[in-house]
């Protein structure tokens, strides 16, 4: 199957994909702020520049997009129709990098919570998970 967009249009679309301040990230930030917790954003001093850092608690939250980080859900399991070899390699490298960074952070005494894009739909469940993680 060929791409429905021209190379130029596809390039423009892909250039709009953000790594910071994404909709899922903003949703989680808003929820955590409403719960009364305060955090630092994208700390450049930590491996992987975690999305949310709670320095006094030594806790970190990553908010991962299912497709980009290779989650096992329906959205994350999609295989691109064009340039498959490139995208499968990229997603595989992202997964390996995420695992490596998580291990480094844990070794350095940080507790890490990974929230997947598909898990953000149920606010009650999400709130419970976040509160449990941050209150320990």
Please report, to the nearest 10 degrees, the dihedral formed by the alpha carbons of residues 10, 13, 19, 25 taken in order: -130
120 lies in some domain: yes
12 lies in some domain: no
The boundaries of the domain holding residue 95 are: 21-135
Strand partners, 61: 52, 113
Distances (CA, A) of 119 to 5, 71, 122: 30, 11, 7
Residue 73 belongs to a domain with what CATH number?
A: 3.40.960.10
Q: What is the reported pTM?
A: 0.83
E-state strands within the chain: 40-41, 52-54, 59-64, 111-116
114 lies in some domain: yes
117 lies in some domain: yes
How many Cβ atoms are within 10 Å of 61's Cβ, its own excluded? 23
Low-confidence ranges of the chain (pLDDT < 70): 1-3, 10-11, 13-21
Domain count, the chain: 1
77 lies in some domain: yes
2 lies in some domain: no
Give 117-132 pLDDT, tens digit per residue: 999 999 999 999 999 9
């Amino acid at each position: 199957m060929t791409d429905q967009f021209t190379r130029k249009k596809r390039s423009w679309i892909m250039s709009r994909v953000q790594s910071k301040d994404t909709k899922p990230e903003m949703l989680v930030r808003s929820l955590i702020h409403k719960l009364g917790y305060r955090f630092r954003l994208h700390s450049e001093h930590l491996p992987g520049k975690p999305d949310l850092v709670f320095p006094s608690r030594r806790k970190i939250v990553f908010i991962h997009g299912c497709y980009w980080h290779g989650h096992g859900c329906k959205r994350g399991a999609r295989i691109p129709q064009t340039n498959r070899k490139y995208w499968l390699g990229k997603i595989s490298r992202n997964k390996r990098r995420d695992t490596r960074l998580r291990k480094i952070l844990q070794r350095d005494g940080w507790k890490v919570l990974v929230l997947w894009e598909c898990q953000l739909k149920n606010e009650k469940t999400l709130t419970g998970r976040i509160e449990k993680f941050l209150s320990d």
